[in-house]
Structure 1
Amino acid sequence: MLSYQHAYHAGNLADLHKHALLASALDYLTRKDKPLSYIETHAGRGLYDLQSEQSRKTGEAATGFARAEAEGWLPRDHPLLRAVANVRAVHGPRSYPGSPLIAAQFLRFEDRTHLAELHPAEYEALRQVAGFATLHARDGFQVAQAVCPPTPRRGLMLIDPSFEVKDDYAAIPRQIALIARKWNVGAIALWYPILTDHRHMAMTATLAIQFPDALLSEVRFPPARQGHGMLGSGMWVLNPPWGLADEAKRIEAIFRDRA
């Protein structure tokens, strides 16, 4: 299925959770004078307009990143806020970066980036803003299997599916196991939604058995609007960079106090 478009949801509270951890991880990884690989299996379009018709229709950005920014949820020097400020300096104050452009604010010339996006319209939009990366108009898990282990071997992969199909929850642990077998030193991050039926729980239970030392971070928040089924956001990270577990605790505390 290719109906999902993140423009309706960009900058929501789930993005705040996911992107705060992603930016923190990349900020740490790029402090070392060693090249890395960055891989995304479901990259999206890379750049969003928070005043677009899609964004205003759902109101998720207004109750998400915009609210957090106005209320000062994150410290001013947080890596995510720095990344957003850099993107807005180029693309204007209404813009919000997806994960590819957040990553681009930290990645260096010697780093290597692979971005996969199967949706034709989303891929074309991504192509306009992601000249720094090798782009793949293919299934993201096929790309992950093809490029792993990457060169350089040090690095991070973000798996951020739409979860349009319930079978995704059963398939993802198998995919991660295959990737981790090929790339045992890579940080592998999985984002997932927490929905009213808690369908993610079987998936995270399987991952906990397979990878008992992985980081699990979950936050809860009210539905963005009446009838909206997402109640929270989860990030699971295999081989998390140093300090990410502490950052996850800080982000979780912010959501408990503010959301």
Structure 2
Amino acid sequence: MLSYQHIYHAGNAADLHKHALLAWVLDYLTAKDKPLSYVETHAGRGLYDLSSAEARKTAEAEAGILRAERADWLPEDHPLMRALASVRRQYGVNAYPGSPLIAQHFLRRGDSTHLAEMHPAEHDALAEVARGATLYRQDGFQMARAVAPPTPRRGLMLVDPSYEVKTDYADIPPFFQDIARKWNVGTLALWYPILTDDRQRGMIARLSQAFPDALKSEVHFPPAKPGHGMVGSGMFVVNPPWGLGEEAARIEALFRG
């Protein structure tokens, strides 16, 4: 599907949950002087302007990153806040980084980045900001299967589809099993929406059965507007780094408070 554009949702509560954990993992992985690979299946444009007409139309960032900043949810030295400050210094106070730019903040010379984005305009925008990355204008699941295992073998894959393709819920568990067989040392992270109809539940049950030692982190929040189906955000992480469980618990407590 080529209709989804994340600018309408950038910086929302789900982004805050996902990006706080993503930045923590990247900070942890890059603390060691060993090269790594970062693979992302649905990259988007990489950089968002929260003052744009699209972002202001939904104003979802008000319940996400802007709320977190007003309430001092995350200290200045938190990995996400460090990445956000760096992006704002370069692109302005209303800039918000998507996951490719969060990764770019942490990755070093010698690390490898593979980003897939099918939407033509989103891909072109990504190409303007994703320095040093290998870009793919193709289906992200196909790219991941072709790349895995990447070189270097140490690293992280983020799977973050829009779920506009309804078969994603059925296709992702066997996809994760396939990637894990090929790349058994990789950290595999899946973001998923928590929906009022519990459509995600079967997918997570199948993943939990296949990966009993994986980390599952979920937060809940009010719908962005009346009748909106998403009421929470989930992250399922295979081969989670040591300490991620404690960080996830801290983030979850912020949403409960």
Q: TM-score band, normalised by the shorter chain?
A: over 0.9
SS for the counterpart of 2:185 is coil
Is it true that 1:207 corresponds to 2:200 in the alignment? Answer: no
Task: State the 1:165 CA deviation.
Answer: 2.1
The within-5 A match list for 1:101-116 is 101-116=101-116
Correspondence 1:62 to 2:78: no
Q: Which runs of 5+ in 2 are unaligned?
A: none
Determine what percentage of the aligned residue pairs are the same residue. 70
Give 2:231's aligned residue.
231
Give the total of aligned pairs: 257
CA distance in 2, matches of 1:250, 1:114: 30
The 2-side partners of 1:63 and 1:33 are apart by 37
- 1:64, 1:56 → 2: CA distance? 13
In 2, the alpha carbon distance for the partners of 1:127 and 1:157 equals 19
The 2-side partners of 1:211 and 1:175 are apart by 13
Which residue number corresponds to residue 137 of structure 1?
137
How far does the alpha carbon of each residue in 1:223-245 deviate from its partner, in whole angstroms, 9 at most, with x for none? 12222211000000000111111
Q: Distance in 2 between matches of 1:216 and 1:41?
A: 20
How far apart are the structure 2 equivalents of 1:129 and 1:59?
24
Q: Over residues 159-181 of structure 1, what are the superposed CA-to-partner deviations in whole Å (9 max), with x where a residue is unaligned?
A: 00000022110000111111111
Shift of 1:247: 0.4
User: Per-residue deviation at 1:59?
Assistant: 1.1
List aligned pairs for 1:2-81, cutoff 5 A.
Answer: 2-81=2-81
Q: CA deviation at 1:113?
A: 0.4
1:150 aligns to 2:150 (yes or no) = yes
SS of the equivalent of 1:158 reads strand
Q: Could you say which residue in structure 2 is the equivalent of 1:216?
A: 216
1:247 is aligned to: 247
Tell me which residue corresponds to 1:186.
Answer: 186
The SS at the match of 1:23 is helix
Q: Distance in 2 between matches of 1:75 and 1:92?
A: 20
In structure 1, the residue corresponding to 2:158 is in which secondary structure?
strand
Specify the code of the residue in structure 2 equivalent to 1:118: M
Aligned AA (1:140) = G
Structure 1 unaligned residues grouped into runs of 5+? none
Partner residue in 1 for 2:92: 92
**2:179 partner amino acid:** I
TM-score (norm 1): 0.98
Does the residue aligned with 1:254 lie in a helix, a strand or coil? helix
Counterpart residue type for residue 149 of structure 2: P
The one-letter code of the counterpart of 1:180 is A
Runs of 4+ more than 2 Å apart? none
